[in-house]
Amino acid sequence: MEDRELVGACLRGDTEAFSRLVERYKDAVYGLALSYTNDFDAARDIAQESFIKAFLALRTLSDPAKFGIWLRTITVNQCRMWLRGRRSHIPLDELDEREVLHSFPRPKTPSQIYEAEEIEKLVLDALAKLPERIRQAAVLFYIDGLSMKEIGEFLGISPSAVKQRVYRARKHLKEEMMGMIGEIFAGRRLPEDFTERTVEEALRRGQECLKQRRWEEAREEFRKVVEALPDRPEGHLGIGLAVNGLVEEQKRPGGEIDPDLVREALEELSEAYR
């Protein structure tokens, strides 16, 4: 199924459709985040956050066929927010490309490197010195063997442009370094349960609001879940509990109970236990 069809199915309440979108783009999003952060853990967190934001805002997407480009924009914005939080960050795209390409330290041979962490740091440092557009293509290519066509569609460029950028990355990285990149990325792929955990995180946020008795926030968080995945009973249950909390607050001395809130709570709880 194409993105347009999957987005439409998701908006009709098909949870499997959203899972397929996550499966389709998770490696591209993860790779793009890694190309910005140079940090595997941060890239994984950003990937999850990007999907959650897309998941909760899916109804705002005007052209479902452009889901991939929309998701890329969300991911880039998340990366920039992360980078702004790092005081020592210097944007790589502000550096002169030719100066960057010739500034690699001479890497040690594999036989001289016995610590996995040292190898990982060596690879990430080398990749970080590539100009942004070349680095993005290279990371996406090696993170899970994405095809030139898939990378091009995600980055909004032609497959031939992707091929050229990957070639330039190979040209400026030592042959032994390229072998290390494949090995390290293979061991740093997203976990198999990434999709499930992403959806669960969206629900967890609403549950956290409930625990802290932030009823209005919880109500809104669960409404987003219901809008995206209306067949998930947890979403309806969350709204019901949040609205019930608002009703309980109105029972305080001098308060006036809103009958519409009572009706909403009953409807959502009934839907959850249907």
CB 75 within 8 A of CB 29: yes
Listed range (1-5, 65-69, 70-74, 179-183) with the worst mean pLDDT: 179-183
Share of the chain above pLDDT 70, in %: 76
Other CB atoms within 10 A of residue 164 CB: 15
- Indicate if 222 and 169 belong to the same structural domain: no
- Show the domain range for 219: 194-272
> Of 142, 158, 190, which residue sits at a domain end?
190
- Model pLDDT, residue 113: 41
Q: Is the pLDDT of residue 273 over 70?
A: no
pLDDT tens per residue across span 246-272: 878 777 666 677 788 778 777 877 776
Report residue 105's pLDDT band, with 50, 70 and 90 as the boundaries.
very low
- Indicate if 26 and 49 belong to the same structural domain: yes
Task: Give residues with Cβ within 8 angstroms of 241, minimum separation 6.
Answer: 210, 218, 269
- Indicate if 125 and 159 belong to the same structural domain: yes
Which one has a higher pLDDT value, 242 or 227? Answer: 242
254: left (phi over 0), alpha (psi -120 to 50) or beta: left
- Indicate if 122 and 56 belong to the same structural domain: no
DSSP state of 109: P
- Model pLDDT, residue 16: 79
- Indicate if 17 and 100 belong to the same structural domain: no
CB 22 within 8 A of CB 198: yes
Number of residues that this document lists for the chain: 274
Listed range (22-26, 116-120, 166-170) with the worst mean pLDDT: 116-120
For range 120-131, the mean pLDDT = 77
Read off the amino acid at residue 246.
L
pLDDT tens per residue across span 43-88: 999 999 999 888 878 878 889 999 999 999 999 999 988 888 774 4
> Of 174, 190, 206, which residue sits at a domain end?
190
- Model pLDDT, residue 245: 82
- Indicate if 100 and 59 belong to the same structural domain: no
- Model pLDDT, residue 5: 93
CATH of the domain at 174: 1.10.10.10
Report residue 160's pLDDT band, with 50, 70 and 90 as the boundaries.
very high
- Model pLDDT, residue 96: 40
- Indicate if 224 and 170 belong to the same structural domain: no
- Indicate if 180 and 109 belong to the same structural domain: yes
Domain count, the chain: 3
- Indicate if 4 and 79 belong to the same structural domain: yes
Q: Is the pLDDT of residue 34 over 70?
A: yes
Question: How far apart, in whole angstroms, are the C-alpha atoms of residue 162 and residue 262?
Answer: 56
Which one has a higher pLDDT value, 183 or 75? Answer: 75
DSSP state of 45: H
Answer positive or negative: Cα dihedral of 119, 120, 123, 129: negative
List for the chain the helix, strand, coil content (%; round to 5). Answer: 75, 0, 25
Angle (CA) 97-100-102 rounded to 5° is: 115
- Indicate if 105 and 164 belong to the same structural domain: yes
> Of 89, 113, 133, which residue sits at a domain end?
89
Q: Is the pLDDT of residue 95 over 80?
A: no
- Indicate if 142 and 160 belong to the same structural domain: yes
Q: Is the pLDDT of residue 112 over 50?
A: no
CATH of the domain at 246: 1.25.40
| Structure token digits, residue 83 | 């980078």
- Indicate if 173 and 151 belong to the same structural domain: yes
